[in-house]
Amino acid sequence: MKKFVYALVILMAIIHQDIWWWDNKRLIFDFMPLGLFYHALFSCMAAGLWALAIKWAWPSDIEEWAEAEGEQGGEQ
């Protein structure tokens, strides 16, 4: 699952460059430019991806190491 999350991060970095809508002047909901709407949705997708990364790709072994260090009184 960790590789899937990494692949999604790379995909999000690629689709973040929305060159296909730079010249589009259409308004969404009669007030928001299409490019801005796209980036609003992109921000929501990025938040969801971050939640997936925390759930499945977070390095729990480092967290366990840090908690074990705290129990020993800072000895290394």
CA–CA distance, 1 with 37 (Å, rounded to integer):
30
71 half-sphere exposure, CB direction, 13 A CA radius: 6
pLDDT surpasses 60 at 76 = no
**pLDDT score of 48:** 94
User: pTM of the entire structure?
Assistant: 0.69
Q: Are strands 27-28 and 32-33 parallel, antiparallel or unpaired?
A: antiparallel
In sequence order, the 6+-apart residues with CB closer than 8 A to the CB of 4 are: 56
Domain edges within the chain: 2-56
Q: What is the pLDDT of residues 24-69, one digit of tens each?
A: 889 999 999 988 899 999 999 999 999 998 888 887 777 777 777 6
18/28: higher pLDDT? 28
